[in-house]
Amino acid sequence: MVDNKSIAEVFHEIADLLEIKGDNPFRIRSYRNAAMVVETYPESFDTLVREGTTDLQSISGIGEAISGKIKEIVASGDCKAHRDLLKQVPGSLLEIMQLQGVGPKTTALLWKKMHVKTVEDVEKLATAGKLRKLPGLGEKSEQKILESIQNRKKFSGRHLLSQAEEAAEEILRYLGAKPGEKATRKSSRRTAGVNFFAVPAGSLRRARETIGDVDILVTGKKCSAVIDRFVKFPGVDSVLAHGDTKGSVRLKTGLQIDLRAVEEKSLGAALQYFTGSKDHNVALRTRAQKMGFTINEYGLFAVDRKGEKEKWVAGRTEEEIYEKLKLQFIPPELRENRGEIEAAEKKSLPRLVELEDVRGDLHMHTTETDGTASLGEMVEAARGRGLQYIAITDHTQSTRVANGMDEKRLEKQIQAIDKLQRQFNDITVFKGTECDILADGRLDLPDSILEQLDVVVVSIHSHFQQSTREVMDRLERAFSNPHVRIFAHPTGRLLFHRPAYAVDLEKLFALAKKYKVCLELNSQPERLDLNDVALRRAPELGVPIVISTDSHATQQLDYLKFGVRTARRGWLEAKHIANTQPMKTFLKTISRH
């Protein structure tokens, strides 16, 4: 089974390789376009090809050549054109192209003139001050490239939460287990003649923003058969360990998956242990010892005065372990030893927000700018997900790469939304914008159009190099515009790619409070911005949070789950999040009067 993302990835790589080669721009664009179409297409191409009932060329953006390659990729996992290109252009150049400030032209230049093949080669040249001499580069860009290499190192070996979750779900499906939080009898599935439960643990269960490796636990009879099947998963690149109680593999994506078999009697103890975090476990073990217990992945045991003679006390479920330790059950997202054990002791843990609490999504794009779905399609998709209100927030003119809108185009969109709204009484579509905050803090659209909108979202997409002082002045000027309601992706960081701009979080919260601007928790997996630690300050300082998806395609509306998990990591309850409220209350919360 090849998923759409993998097919799109091949096309992206072909486009990148062609670009480094200096190929025909039209050809390059057709591959980029195909990648985009495949990536956002709602049905699985693998299924379409295998069923053979749909003519792929009837899909807009897919011609004869691309259709042929999709079939080839579905059949073999790769295509000849891709392999041939990799014979001409080293694949390692693709990693160089991912560095900030390095485009295809620079990559080609480095390769052809300086015989550079790897990121390490680039690092050596930059450190020696030899990059700045190349045409089109200078001291500044050399510095930027070095920084980007440092950033990459910091994250190397880790993966986005979304990627790890997708991989884990795919493996659980393959093993025949139902993905889910609770390892209950209901989730047992018959596979290879074995009844078993499987459940993810580790940082994935805690929903950290990046994941080192995925830890899965299985329990049941003859788990060794499950492990035998696990190591044969089609996405496996290499098997790192294969025994009776443990299997460990590295996938082609570089992600490592550990699978451990545990006894049913110890499932709760194992789940608690392998969910971590390590810091949480250390603190919990200290508490257990003070209470006359020892705890490990097999259970909670009572210890006599000499520290010997252990008696099994609990371990079948996590709940009974926390109970015996006189603690409230601690949700996995809180297990970071950031005060959760103390709060659980006092029975004062927050009632964390849940996905079902969220009623609206206040940040999304359409084909009018850089989205892949039309206004109508986005509304339908939001309705289908049970949302009660959404805001359409396309980009504004100064974001040219996203085909941002000027006043005239936005006026047309306002009319289109009014017209569309008449068809629906079960969803409210707010007229909105994601208005750029210009370098000096002015907004990218005049008040005359902003005042016609229901929701003005503002954000920073340029001049990331400003000093803290400049960024904060810029924000204060923007927030002082009375139409501004929500500040999107407040720090601008992109995981693995770009650090935050120089925003001072304490001052940001103060500004948000002063001007009654809500702060966004952006649910895009590479943003998750504000992050867990920053979010925790919001209720303390009385600033409402809005969780939005910033969707650029209909399926991205599902990213809401990552936003909610991150909010939970930030100890947030439904009452701290404006878009858990019914529409009218929500409008009151975000209004500034």
- Using CB under 5 A, pick the residue from 361, 394, 434, 529 that binds Zn ion: 434
Q: Residue 204 CB, nearest distance to Ca ion (Å)?
A: 7
Instruction: Please tell me whether residue 436 binds Zn ion under the rule CB under 5 A.
Output: no
In sequence order, what are the residues at sequence separation of 6 or more whose Cβ sits closer than 8 angstroms to the Cβ of residue 370? 395, 401, 402, 403, 552
Measured from the CB atom, the residue of 170 and 573 that comes closer to Ca ion is 170
DSSP letters for 18-37: HHHHT--HHHHHHHHHHHHH
The size of the interface with Ca ion (CB under 5 A), counted in residues, is 5
Shortest-Cβ-distance residue relative to Zn ion = 550
Shortest-Cβ-distance residue relative to ligand DGT = 276
Measured from the CB atom, the residue of 224 and 296 that comes closer to ligand DGT is 296
CA 448 remoteness from chain centre? 36
Measured from the CB atom, the residue of 335 and 493 that comes closer to ligand DGT is 335
Q: How would you write 189-223 as a 3-class SS string?
A: EEECCEEEEEEECHHHHHCCCEECEEEEEEEECCH
Residues 63-92, one symbol each (x = binds Zn ion by CB under 5 A, - = not), give ------------------------------
Phi, psi (5° rounding) for residue 3?
A: -85, 165
**From the list Ca ion, ligand DGT, Zn ion, none, which binds 563 (C-beta under 5 to 8 Å, kind-based)?**
none
Measured from the CB atom, the residue of 208 and 536 that comes closer to ligand DGT is 208
Q: Residue 264 CB, nearest distance to Ca ion (Å)?
A: 22
Instruction: Please tell me whether residue 165 binds Ca ion under the rule CB under 5 A.
Output: no
Measured from the CB atom, the residue of 266 and 524 that comes closer to Zn ion is 524
Q: Residue 365 CB, nearest distance to Zn ion (Å)?
A: 6
The Cα-based distances of 531 to 207, 245, 505, 524 in angstroms read 12, 36, 11, 12
Q: Which residue has tokens 């680039």?
A: 122
Q: Residue 127 CB, nearest distance to ligand DGT (Å)?
A: 29
Across 449-464, b (16+ Cβ under 10 Å) vs e yields bbeebbbbbbbbbeee
Measured from the CB atom, the residue of 258 and 526 that comes closer to Ca ion is 258
Helix (H, G, I), strand (E, B) or coil at 431: strand
**From the list Zn ion, Ca ion, ligand DGT, none, which binds 274 (C-beta under 5 to 8 Å, kind-based)?**
ligand DGT
Instruction: Please tell me whether residue 213 binds Ca ion under the rule CB under 5 A.
Output: yes
- Using CB under 5 A, pick the residue from 16, 46, 258, 529 that binds Ca ion: 258
Residues 390-429, one symbol each (x = binds Zn ion by CB under 5 A, - = not), give ----------------------------------------
Measured from the CB atom, the residue of 340 and 520 that comes closer to ligand DGT is 340
Question: In angstroms, rounded to a whole number, what is the distance separating the alpha carbons of residues 60 and 381?
Answer: 20
- Using CB under 5 A, pick the residue from 39, 142, 215, 520 that binds Ca ion: 215
Q: Residue 218 CB, nearest distance to ligand DGT (Å)?
A: 15
Instruction: Please tell me whether residue 202 binds Ca ion under the rule CB under 5 A.
Output: yes
Measured from the CB atom, the residue of 169 and 377 that comes closer to Ca ion is 169
- Considering Cα of 499, then 503, then 505, then 506, what sign does the dihedral take? positive
Q: How would you write 439-496 as a 3-class SS string?
A: CCCCECCCHHHHCCCCEEEEECCCCCCCCHHHHHHHHHHHHCCCCEEEECCCCCCECC
Measured from the CB atom, the residue of 131 and 330 that comes closer to ligand DGT is 330
Q: Which one of the spans 109-117, 402-410, 440-448, 547-555 is the region binding Zn ion (CB under 5 A)?
A: 547-555
**From the list Ca ion, ligand DGT, Zn ion, none, which binds 550 (C-beta under 5 to 8 Å, kind-based)?**
Zn ion
The size of the interface with Zn ion (CB under 5 A), counted in residues, is 2
Q: Residue 207 CB, nearest distance to ligand DGT (Å)?
A: 11
Q: How would you write 494-550 as a 3-class SS string?
A: ECCCECCCCCCHHHHHHHHHHHCCEEEEECCCCCCECCHHHHCHHHHHCCCEEEECC
Helix axes 64-76, 4-21, angle to 10 degrees: 120
Helix axes 468-479, 505-515, angle to 10 degrees: 10
Residue ranges of alpha helices (H) inside 117-160 are 119-127, 139-155
- Using CB under 5 A, pick the residue from 550, 557, 565, 580 that binds Zn ion: 550
Query: Sheet harboring 455-459: ordered strands across?
Result: 360-361, 389-392, 428-436, 455-459, 484-487, 518-522, 545-548
DSSP 8-state symbol, 305: T
Measured from the CB atom, the residue of 202 and 332 that comes closer to Ca ion is 202
CA 406 remoteness from chain centre? 30
Measured from the CB atom, the residue of 532 and 550 that comes closer to Zn ion is 550
- Through-space distance between the first and last CA atoms of the chain, rounded to whole angstroms: 54
Q: Residue 280 CB, nearest distance to ligand DGT (Å)?
A: 8
Instruction: Please tell me whether residue 563 binds Ca ion under the rule CB under 5 A.
Output: no
Binding site for ligand DGT (CB under 6 A): 202-203, 208, 211-213, 215, 273-274, 276-278, 281-282
Shortest-Cβ-distance residue relative to Ca ion = 202
Whether omega before 530 lies within 30 degrees of 0, making that bond cis, reads yes
Token code pair at residue 332: 């996995």
Measured from the CB atom, the residue of 203 and 393 that comes closer to Ca ion is 203
Q: Residue 551 CB, nearest distance to Zn ion (Å)?
A: 8
Measured from the CB atom, the residue of 280 and 552 that comes closer to ligand DGT is 280
Contacts of Zn ion in 223-262 (CB under 5 A)? none
| Maximum Cα–Cα distance across the chain | 81
Residues of the shown chain interacting with Zn ion in the complex, contacts defined by CB under 5 A: 434, 550
Residues of the shown chain interacting with Ca ion in the complex, contacts defined by CB under 5 A: 202-203, 213, 215, 258
